[in-house]
Chain A
Amino acid sequence: MRDVSIVGMGTTEFGVLDAGVKDLGVRAVSRALRSCDVSRADVDALYLGNFVAGILEGQENIAPLVADSVGLTGIPTMKTEGACASSGIALRQAYQAVATGVHDVVVVAGVESMTSAETTEFTRALNSAADTQTEGKTGLTFPGFYGLWLDRYMYEHGTTREEVAAIPVKNRKNGATNPRARFRDPITIDDVVESRLVADPLRLYDCCPAADGGAALVIAASDRARELTETPIQVLGSGHASGRSGAYRYDDLTTLDATVTAATDAYAQANISPTDLDVVELHDCFSAAEIGDSEDLGLFEKGEGATAAAEGVTAVDGDVPINPSGGLLSKGHPVGATGIGQVYEVCLQLFGEHENQVDGAELALTHNLGGSGAVCTVTVLGRDA
């Protein structure tokens, strides 16, 4: 297995962009290629993550269309889909292709266009990530899944609604200074606990907003990375696991196995422990998800994730900075673009150039989760030595 580095990156803002998936993908990939010294002829393949363009836009076969539109005609391409982890999976596949020597230089992209969809079509598309034969039929939504999660969690740990609300408050504060975020206005604990119920005990401000967006990386074998950029970022660990198909399938609903497994694999490969990490971008599709993710990633003991946020431990200047970008709760969740968007944010941290810079960040993690904990990718990244 060869070492793999990120040598280029590009992104759009996340928000209401009035553009389709192909154009968003083209913008992100073009920007990634322009950010480094990679020529079109250097690129061996393109992997693109997307979730619902087929349903919402009637547009499939996106990967070769984007490749042709950016001057990469002829290379092998493929789309990866794993709901909200679609582009985390794209990165995983591209990483494996380079690590095993199949390819030397690969473009990885994630893209989604959602905000112009009618509400009915939009919810139908998002719910396609759940098992339509079981919980989908029952009427459980994704906020509903995390409503169940949080109900059980609060019952087991005595966590208060105000402690949970500290998470969206923190992430919205971070997002206020991130020009790539959809939401850039801070909120208060009262705003969260007084916002309307969506899926008890989850309220509106516990939920991430939809967004349009595209993000892309160029990755390469590390022994070639310095030819292609002055500032490579090394992929130190990569984990990918599947989990359970619904809430009823968990013995312990508050532990999402896919995260635990993917993180364990990524930590082992990187030869680190969670306490070594300087900065984390994790999948906070809901406030409850950030609590569980942070515990499943081994950053906190069970029952401590919410209190850690309430006590400032996960703030940009805290001991365990989580989602300094503002996370999905602020940036928004252009589903297929989210995983690569997270990597973009931590690369800025490792360059020392993020708007919400964590002092001296050298070791970072991204965590991308799809469905009801059905699939997860975890990536550990570090400055190239």
Chain B
Amino acid sequence: MSGGLDGPAPEERPTPDGRRNSQGIRIDPEAEAEPEARRVVLSALVKHEPGVLASVSGLFRRRQFNIESLTVGPTTDQDRARITLEIEEPDPGIEQAKKQLQKLVPVIAVTELEPDAIRRELALIKVDGSAPDQVGAVAEMYDGKTVDVSQESVTVEITGSEQKIDAAIETFGRFGIHEIVRTGTAALERGTRRTT
């Protein structure tokens, strides 16, 4: 095939020493490794209108951000809703997720919450009903509540951190869990700090 051009061949050209990592950051290849992912909670105040949740979830899918949980609900202002997302990404990915989220026109503000922010999740756990007293005792241990009892099953409500709920589910496991449902994280800054 034709179409060649004149000039020194690739191997005859001087090669620069530098290098970047996959985030496009210039690095010393000897010293620096790829950044590690960390888990953060993002809170987005959005216009309360149809399609916003689809836009947000579509954005995270399309850009392949690693999303751990997503919750949405109204605020005291009926025109605004709050979306709370947990993501696990290296720092450049977290920054990019925040900026892409902020860029959506119906998104009013985005905050990355402090590590000590109040985080709560709710779970309903339906366990086998053959030992209701023991189930009740375990529920109490996790500050939970028995919310439904039938001949076959006992349903317990637990709120708390993700770790606490993981632990509760593991403990209830010995009774036999029929089914569970979890909400994902709701989170708010502590004290006088504003969430958004």
Pairing of A with B: no
